[in-house]
């Protein structure tokens, strides 16, 4: 593509004085365009490729080959077309070198087999997907490529659920930037009213540490207020796992973590996971914590979370988009 291949034409341009002959047809001077497109050997290969993709090919220059990629192929088929073009060019040059330097003639059918096997590897190993197009189907099958169907998009409805009567539910979340981390907690009763909102700036730390600290702070507050029926909910699956496996808790938090777990023994305690889309209240509150110093609490929910609390109270869902 950079016109740097050392064909006879280019070597002569660079000052090499040599007779020129195409080693594939022995009937023409060797130029870049001839050996890659005009030579009868190359024409047979391009004719095979033309039949494989069911498109009449006509090249006026080297750049024309890439126009094939501009068609409406699926992602998997497009990478196969690119791989075929690259392998055709590379194989023609390989066959030319074998003929010139090793006096070894490779039949064009053998060259096509080399190209097909390389393109098949590329098409099967790519993670890109195909579509239901019959044209794409025919091209991929021609190269013995397994069709990768498009990933199924699943839309999951995520709803926040209030606790049972006489229970308190605390949702916690953590947030972190390069300079600060914070956690947020919202406690609500069985009629979805906010009882207490808490935001705490934790200083420099990771998002996981902020999530763990949010869970511990929620348990400590629940114990202080004698909420014996307490349901803790977080969007961090690692925090949920930490209640069964203490080893994932950072060493500098282990003592506090063990103390919090002991506090839960005096409660009817439940821990659960919720997708982030259902935990937007405390996500916003954790972001508030990034802009404050220390620990803040509100008996009345701050403006930043009122909208989300209202949606949760009305039972309005959020939606999570997942592909499989």
Radius of gyration from C-alpha coordinates of the chain: 33
- Domain residue limits at 275: 157-323
**What CA–CA distance (Å, rounded) separates 80 from 124?**
9
Beta strands in the chain (DSSP E): 153-158, 168-176, 181-188, 194-203, 229-234, 268-273, 295-298, 318-323
Task: Please list the rounded mean pLDDT of every run of 10 residues in the chain (324 residues).
Answer: 89 92 94 94 96 90 85 92 96 96 95 96 92 86 89 82 96 94 96 95 94 96 96 96 93 95 96 94 94 93 92 92 70
Domain boundary among the residues 117, 150, 183 is at 150
Beta bridge partners of 270: 231
At residue 131, the pLDDT reads 83
At residue 243, the pLDDT reads 94
At residue 323, the pLDDT reads 64
Question: Both 136 and 239 in a single domain?
Answer: no
Domain assignment of residue 257, yes or no = yes
Number of structural domains (the chain) is: 2
Question: Both 216 and 234 in a single domain?
Answer: yes
Question: Both 168 and 313 in a single domain?
Answer: yes
Domain assignment of residue 3, yes or no = no
Neighbours of 233 (CB within 10 A): 24
Domain boundary among the residues 104, 123, 150 is at 150
CATH number reported for the structural domain that contains residue 226 in this entry: 3.30.420.10
At residue 69, the pLDDT reads 86
Question: Both 185 and 106 in a single domain?
Answer: no
Kind of pairing between the strands at 194-203 and 295-298: antiparallel
Domain assignment of residue 2, yes or no = no
Q: For the whole prediction, is pTM greater than 0.85?
A: no
At residue 283, the pLDDT reads 94
CB within 8 A of 123, min separation 6: which ones?
76, 79, 80, 83, 140, 143, 145, 146
Domain assignment of residue 1, yes or no = no
Question: Both 195 and 303 in a single domain?
Answer: yes
Question: Both 241 and 120 in a single domain?
Answer: no
Domain boundary among the residues 150, 177, 202 is at 150
Question: Both 137 and 190 in a single domain?
Answer: no
| Cα–Cα–Cα angle for 252, 258, 259, rounded to 5 degrees | 105
| Cα–Cα–Cα angle for 164, 170, 172, rounded to 5 degrees | 145
Q: Report whether 256 contacts 249 (CB < 8 A).
A: no
Q: Please name which of 51, 48, 46 lies closest in space to residue 65, comparing C-alpha atoms.
A: 46
């Amino acid at each position: 593509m950079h016109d740097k291949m050392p064909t006879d034409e280019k070597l002569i341009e660079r000052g090499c004085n040599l007779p020129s002959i195409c080693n594939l047809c022995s009937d023409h001077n060797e130029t870049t365009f001839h050996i890659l497109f005009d030579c009868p050997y190359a024409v047979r290969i391009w004719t095979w490729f033309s039949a494989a993709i069911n498109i009449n090919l006509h090249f006026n220059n080297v750049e024309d080959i890439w126009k094939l990629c501009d068609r409406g192929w699926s992602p998997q088929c497009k990478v196969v077309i690119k791989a075929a073009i690259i392998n055709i060019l590379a194989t023609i040059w390989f066959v030319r070198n074998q003929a010139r330097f090793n006096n070894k003639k490779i039949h064009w059918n053998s060259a096509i087999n080399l190209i097909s096997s390389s393109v098949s590897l590329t098409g099967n190993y790519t993670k890109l997907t195909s579509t239901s197009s019959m044209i794409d189907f025919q091209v991929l099958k021609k190269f013995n490529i397994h069709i990768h169907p498009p990933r199924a998009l699943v839309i999951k409805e995520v709803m926040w659920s209030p606790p049972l009567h006489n229970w308190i539910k605390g949702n916690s979340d953590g947030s972190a930037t390069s300079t600060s981390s914070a956690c947020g907690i919202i406690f609500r009763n069985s009629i979805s009213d906010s009882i207490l909102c808490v935001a705490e700036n934790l200083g420099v730390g990771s998002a996981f540490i902020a999530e763990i600290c949010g869970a511990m702070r929620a348990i400590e507050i629940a114990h202080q207020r004698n909420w014996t029926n307490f349901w803790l909910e977080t969007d961090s699956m690692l925090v949920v796992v930490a209640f069964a496996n203490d080893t994932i808790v950072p060493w500098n938090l282990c003592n506090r973590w063990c103390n919090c777990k002991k506090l839960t023994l005096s409660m009817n305690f439940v821990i659960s996971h919720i997708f982030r889309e259902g935990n937007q209240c405390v996500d916003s509150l954790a972001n508030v914590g990034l802009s404050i110093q220390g620990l803040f609490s509100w008996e009345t929910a701050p403006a930043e979370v009122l909208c989300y609390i209202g949606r949760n109270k009305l039972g309005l869902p959020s939606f999570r988009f997942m592909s499989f």
